[in-house]
Every structure is written in structure tokens, then in C-alpha cells.
Structure 1
Amino acid sequence: MLGLMAARQAGLDDPARLRRAERTRRVLSLELNKDRDVERIHGSGINTLDIEPVEGRYMLSGGSDGVIVLYDLENLSRKPNYTCKALFSVGRSHPDVHKFSVETVQWYPHDTGMFTSSSFDKTLKIWDTNTLQPADIFHFEGTVYSHHMSPVATKHCLIAGHRQEVLAVSWSPRHEYVLATGSADGRVKLWDVRRASGCLSTLDQYNGEKSKASSEAANTAHNGRVNGLCYTNDGLHLLTIGTDDRMRLWNSSTGENTLVNYGKVCNESRKGLKFAISCGCNPEFAFVPYGSTIAVYTVFTGELITMLRGHYSTVNCCVFQPHFQELYTGSKDCNILAWIPAPREPVSDDISEKSLPQHHVNPAYEDAWSSSDDEG
């Protein structure tokens, strides 16, 4: 790290390289923060979390009791020990509270004035944050397991919501009209909402090699229910998880299964499973609920890095805060836990070019001065 800092200071290295290295170090040192609590409001399991992308300060949670809570994550007390307070909640006494379990909450991607929620009560609600009143309510014939708003759309404000057996949905962060969905039939489909036919492709775990697949497994992404999917931050890959205890990484452009082996990824959830992927690290990491723990994998090699332990019951959801490389997780134990990077050990301020590895020094910056006065 000292070498990277010196190289940046001397102008010998790209500053982005130091940022990636420090973000990666912080993610690899994540630990349960014993000094930071999240105020306990929910009386039953927590199904979904979302941190607004503008400031990274406010977090929404939705629970099995139908309650929605908004938290302020900033430490206003400036003390080492503090509690992330609930600013408000849509509790059981609220006239517009969801009747049944809230499965997904999401901030409007461009400001904190609006957020959305969907529930097993077959409704999707658009909320005005300031008045805490629903601006609109959509009623469906079937259960709404998941919904998602595009983080990059500039020409539409569509919300993708699926009913009955579609358990996971996500807009591409790269293409504003492209959408991925995961279903209980084991299929993952990519959609372009501009096309009349809609479906672009159905992902095939065998990459078209039908001789290796039974007729029942052909054109399926998993041999079980697909209840979780998440794009990488650049939108080039899609990570999916199924009740076949497998996680798969797909090239989102070609639809090819990259065949990364993550081993057995225990997944007993009968509904949507919310996992997260890091942002700005090298390599990138996936944070996956795994029973009462959170498994941390490298996305592109499949290596299991660590298991984060702290919850007393099944973990349902996690959300990554990219501004400070923090992780928040929600569980059936009614708790939200904060995982933060371990503090860095103190280092010497004496950083010079001598601390740089020799291969870091650009020959153009090497000292070519000669002490000979006779030259010329």
C-alpha cells in the first residue's frame, strides 16, 4: 500500500489503482461492528434492504410484518458508539401499511424523494418520502415477489414487477431497456422492453450442448427455482442463484455460462433471495446469504473468501454500501447488522521513492543528471 501511495504521489501510477486497492482491502477486512447498532423496529423477519445511491446515507427495510422503516446511517453523534436511528416507519397502525409481508423496497435511483415497495398483499406502492403517503398503488392478480427500477434509465420510468412464479428481477445497469428475470421453472430470461416479442434470450446452463442435458433441463439456468440474480456494476455479467444450491455467472451480452465453480451454495429459501455485489474493487466480491451466515465469494474465480457470522437465524438479504465499503444484512432474527472494514494499522508518514518497488519507477522519471563538469 505504501508503494501505491508513493507512486500516486510521484505521478507514476494511476490514482484509480490506489482507490481499487484500498476498496479491496476494506472489503476483505469486513467485520461485525460492535460499536454500531441499527435500531430494532421490526417485530418479525427482515426480507429486504436498500440504500439510496445518491448520498449512501439513508436505508430502507421491509419486513414479514408488512412494516417499512427508514434509517439514517450517518453518525451524527460523532461518538465511536452510536445507533443508526429510525427516522420513521410505516407501522401496523399506518392507514396504508402493507397487509402482508414486504418482499422488496427500493429507492428512486435519482433522489430520495420517492421509494417503492411490493408485498405478498399483491400490491406495489410508490411512496412520497416527505409526506409518507402513497402517491400511487398498483394492484395485481398474483403475488408480487420482486420489483426493480432501472438505475440508468433516462427515457423511461418503468418499474419491472412480476407476478406468481417469477422470483427475481433486475434491470441492467448498462442498457436501460434490458431486463433479467429468474423464475421458479429454473429459467433466466433477458428482455428488451422495446421489442414486441420482449424476450431476447433464455440462458442455458449447458451453453447449447444438448447432448449433456436431459430434455427437461434444456434451456434452464438452474435445476431448481431461480430466486436471486444480480448484475455486476458494469453490467457485463449476471450472477444467478437457485435452489439447486448452485450459483452461476453469465456473460450478459452473449448469454454464455462462464462455468465459474462456486461449489455448493446452500439456498433453502422458498421466495426471493437478495444478495449483493461489491463496486470498485479488484477483484469484485459477491455477498450471499448462506443460512445464518453471509458467504463472501470472488465473482470471477468462485473462491470462497470468508463467512461472516453474527446473526442468530436465517439471513434473507444484504446490501452493499459502495461509498464506504460497508455491508448491511437483514435476518429472520429481526436484526439488521452492520459490517464495516477493520481499522487500518498506523503506518509511517515517511513515504519516498525509495519505498517503491523498482518495477514501479517509470524510466522517464529516472535521474539522468551527471556530476561530470567536463561533459559537453
Structure 2
Amino acid sequence: MAKRPNEFTEGDLDNLKNGERAGSTARLGEATTPVKDGMGEFEDPYEDEMESDEDVVEAGTASEMEEDEDEDGAMDVDTEAYRISRPQEPLKENEVLEPDPSAFHLLHNMGTKWPCLSFDVLQDSLGDNRQAYPATVFLVTGTQASKAKENEITVMKLSGLSRIKQDPEDSEDEDEDSDADEDSDPILESRHIPLNTTTNRIRTSPFSLQNSEYLTATMLETGSVNIYNVTPHLTSLESPGNPVPPTSNQPIASLSMHRGVEGYAIDWSPLIPQGRLLTGDNSGKIFHTTRNESGKFIAETSPFTGHTSSIEEIQWSPSERTVFASASADGTVKIWDVRQKNKKFVLSVDVSSSDVNVASWNPGTQHLLATGADDGVWAVWDLRTFSSSAGNVSAVASFSWHQQPITSVEWNSNDDTVVAVGSADSTVTLWNLAVEEDTEEGGKAGGAGDAPDQLMFEHFCEGVREVHWVKQVPGMVVATGEKGFSVFKTISV
């Protein structure tokens, strides 16, 4: 699939959407209402801010923004009607779906001047299993600006993420202190690294917090792989007043083994603290990069080959230090071992008749791999069924709810039965594979149409590109799309 749209316009993040199902899950198929004239226009939070390396933006409520249109507002909870194009039930012209606030614990959106094709969640020192509000999350992302020289890598701190306000009648039993949780204003602070090209994919080492070194690797449109240490930028956000040394904006490594061929596949090993990286490009080549004892990154000159089309995704095994999987536009998933001297795959399985865009290796149940394809199907595969003689195997679960290409898939690291999926149909869906199909009385929740029983929640993010869980805040999801970021936590997870 095409990884980047042909055109983007500057703007705000369009409104969001959800549905709710019976019980503790979200109900799908809310009633539609006409679009209100002039609804949904937000200010660009980065207007006139691009020259500064240190941006702090405080966003108020929607009413406050209407009172003062000249005041910057980066993030905002909006309870207006949300536009959505549901894959199974397309809305009529000038119709929207209204969100049910009771289905969310937290819902914020953040407009950006330029779209971000990719981002990663930074582990922080605030602790694990955080439940308190207001919440804080740190992100790193790269832009897709209309002019190459205006691009940047941005390290962001999103704080004051309050719990969504509930109907007083529905929250009589809540602690009075919860009022403070709901009234704080979300704040965006950011530090910038100037860049003269688009960032196709960005990933930070999973050992960043442990090593106190936030190694961040980028796959660039130019075909280069740059590695940055964004620790000074994060430190500056955690301790305001500490400037970022200009030298910290330079990459600690700039690798050219892809010889100008751009790509989108990149992954850090979850088992090698020192740093081990895989990158794949549009010519079907995969390169292995390691870090030596002196801290220098060294890329192998000979690639892993075997795919007949572009490499769309790479995933290291969560349990075997030398094993990784790749997904390709040739419709296959291949399993590799870096010890193979001939740099050829060990196993290859046809998983789709279309491009396989994304993949995620389950960190908890380590024989499961999720994939998402260009035909809108996402599936789960049992790697124990892969063999050298098995060109085609059957998925243990397969879902065709989305009618447009799957752009992101990720297992929840806090619950290995839950998956987040993003699609070009502008929806993020949350699934629970532990739910067994109910065959009695049709097996479907009332009002959900033909929605699968495993579908817990559906959320709108225009042109969604990537979706990630926030491991340290269980249940929190962040998505990036054509107009900006959405941060939410539902009652479903």
C-alpha cells in the first residue's frame, strides 16, 4: 500500500468517535445527527512556533477556545459530534456519530502543523501501572512537511491528561477529589531536532529507561537510517530550564547501507540491551546493525534477501535473540535467523493475496504473530504451524471488519489477548481474542449489526497511520493520523 498520502494540508485533528457494546465493552452503531456548520476547526498549535526548540502549549476547553480564537490550543477534549466513515455502515452526507463520554476514561486530541507518519512511546521514570489522573505520556515522532527543510523530529511531553467529565447523575459514587482529575488543562511541551527530510518510521530502544540512553532510530525518505540519543531532549522536558545542547540535535550514527532506497521497516531487539537493529527497504533488502563495545553502530554490508517486493514490517522475536520475522508486499511472512551465513530465510508462509503492511509479535504468548494487510484483513498466526513444507497455513483468527488497508497492529503488552488495529478507513479498533463467539441468539450484541464478538471498541482518527499502547499507563492508546494525535483510554480495556 502507499505509505504516505499524495497531499496533506495543515490543520487540526478532526473529531473522534466511539461506540459501545453490551456490558463493559463499547456499543457500536451510535445514532447519527446532522453536522453543525463550522464545527471541528481547531487552531494549529505550532503556528509561529517552528523557530523555537522549546515549545510549551496549554490547551483549554472547547468553550475557552471559542472565547479567544487567538490563543494557541494544542490539545482539547471535545464533546461535539464526531465525523466518522464506518466500514460497515457508511454515514450519509452531513451525518456524524456522537461519542458517549461514559465509554471513555480519558479522551484528548492534539493537532499538529504537519502529519506524522510514525511515532513511539518513550518509557519514563514516573513508574509503571499508573492509574491516577491527570496522566502524563512522552512521545517521539517525525514529521511529513510539505517542504523538506521544514521537517523535524519532535520529543513531546503530554501532561495534564485529565479524566473525561461524566454526567453528574452517573458519577454520584465518585470521590469528590475526582473533580480535580477532570478539570486540569492538558499541556503539550516539545523539543525539536531539525531535519531536512520526511521520517517514514521511528522507533526507540526498549532499553532506553534501563540504560538511561534513549536511542531513537529513524527510517528516512532519503534511504538513510539515522540514530539519535534524545536523552537531553527528554531531560529538558522533565526538568524545565535545562537547555538542549545544539550538538545533541546531531545523529550519533547515520547509516547508508540501503544506498538511497527508502523503507519503512525497523525494529530494535527486545533482548539485546547494547543495541541491535534491523531495517528493511522497498527493494526487499533487510540489513542488520549492531553496536560495538565502544558505542559505534556498524551495519553489515550484505543484506538478508528473499522477499520479491518491499519490506513493510520487521519484528524481532521476544524470546529468541537471533530470530526475527518480516512482512512484505509480496504477501508473505518470513522467519529468519541472523546466524544464517547465506542470509536467507528459514521459513516462508503466504498469509495474504495482497500486501502485508504490518505485523506484531505477541510479547506474552510468544508463538502468536498478528498481521494486517492491504485488503483490510487482519489475522493472527500460530508460528508453531509454520514449517519449511508449509507454503500456506490457516490463521487461528482472521477479521475482515475493516474495508480499507490495515495501517497498524499492536498487541497490548499488559494483556496478551488484546490487540489494537488501525485502518485507512480512519478507525482504530480494539479487540479481545479471549472472547468466544456467542452462537446463541445470533451471537451478536444488540445494535452492533454484524460486528464480531471480539470487537470491543471503535474509535475515529482521520487517516490513522500508527497506533501504540502506553505500557506504563495500562489501557491508554495513542494514535497518529493525517491531522494529528488522539490519546484515549476506554472502559473496555
TM-score w.r.t. structure 2 length?
0.53
Aligned to 1:182: 327
Q: Does 1:148 align with 2:267?
A: yes
Q: Secondary structure at the match of 1:61?
A: strand
CA separation of 1:202/1:63 partners in 2, compared to 1, >3 Å: closer, same or farther? farther
Q: Percent identity among equivalent residues?
A: 14
List per-residue Cα deviations over 1:71-106 (Å, max 9, x = no partner). 12444998643324233122xxx2xx1413x12111
Aligned equivalents of 2:335, 2:187: Cα separation in 1: 38
AA in 1 matched with 2:376: D
Aligned-residue offset at 1:285: 1.4
Structure 2 unaligned residues grouped into runs of 5+: 1-23, 28-101, 129-136, 146-150, 163-179, 233-247, 283-309, 387-392, 437-451
Aligned residues: 289
Q: Does 1:70 align with 2:155?
A: yes
For 1:72-221, list aligned pairs within 5 A.
72-75=157-160, 80=182, 81-90=184-193, 94=194, 97-100=195-198, 102-111=199-208, 112-129=213-230, 130=232, 131-139=248-256, 140-141=258-259, 142-154=261-273, 157-164=275-282, 165-204=310-349, 220-221=350-351
Aligned to 1:52: 122
Aligned-residue offset at 1:179: 0.9
Contact 1:69 1:86 in 2 (8 A): no
Contact 2:26 2:456 in 1 (8 A): no
CA separation of 1:105/1:323 partners in 2, compared to 1, >3 Å: closer, same or farther? same
Contact 1:32 1:337 in 2 (8 A): no
CA separation of 1:83/1:228 partners in 2, compared to 1, >3 Å: closer, same or farther? same
Q: For the aligned residues, what is the CA RMSD?
A: 3.0
Contact 1:37 1:84 in 2 (8 A): no
Aligned-residue offset at 1:328: 0.4
Aligned-residue offset at 1:307: 4.0
Contact 1:187 1:202 in 2 (8 A): no
Aligned equivalents of 1:248, 1:84: Cα separation in 2: 37
CA separation of 1:250/1:53 partners in 2, compared to 1, >3 Å: closer, same or farther? farther
Deviates more, 1:322-331 or 1:298-307: 298-307
Q: Does 1:244 align with 2:375?
A: yes
CA separation of 1:68/1:32 partners in 2, compared to 1, >3 Å: closer, same or farther? farther
Q: Secondary structure at the match of 1:267?
A: coil
Q: Secondary structure at the match of 2:251?
A: strand
- Which one of the candidate residues 294, 304, 307 is aligned to 2:428? 294
Contact 2:116 2:141 in 1 (8 A): yes
Aligned-residue offset at 1:26: 9.8
Aligned-residue offset at 1:195: 1.5
Q: Does 1:328 align with 2:478?
A: yes
Q: Secondary structure at the match of 1:275?
A: strand
Contact 1:182 1:228 in 2 (8 A): yes
Q: Secondary structure at the match of 1:284?
A: strand
Aligned equivalents of 2:458, 2:189: Cα separation in 1: 25
Structure 1 unaligned residues grouped into runs of 5+: 1-24, 205-219, 345-376
Aligned-residue offset at 1:236: 2.1
Q: Secondary structure at the match of 2:465?
A: strand
For 1:199-348, list aligned pairs within 5 A.
199-204=344-349, 220-234=350-364, 235-255=366-386, 257-268=394-405, 273-281=407-415, 284-290=417-423, 291-299=425-433, 303-311=453-461, 313-325=462-474, 326-333=476-483, 335-342=484-491
CA separation of 1:188/1:148 partners in 2, compared to 1, >3 Å: closer, same or farther? same
Q: Secondary structure at the match of 1:191?
A: strand
Deviates more, 1:172-181 or 1:46-55: 46-55
List per-residue Cα deviations over 1:95-133 (Å, max 9, x = no partner). xx1413x12111122124321111212111111212232
**Could you say which structure has the larger radius of gyration?**
1
AA in 1 matched with 2:322: Y
Q: Secondary structure at the match of 1:33?
A: strand
Contact 1:117 1:126 in 2 (8 A): yes
AA in 2 matched with 1:339: F
CA separation of 1:252/1:82 partners in 2, compared to 1, >3 Å: closer, same or farther? farther
List per-residue Cα deviations over 1:138-186 (Å, max 9, x = no partner). 12221122211111225x6321111111111111111121111111111
Aligned equivalents of 2:275, 2:433: Cα separation in 1: 30
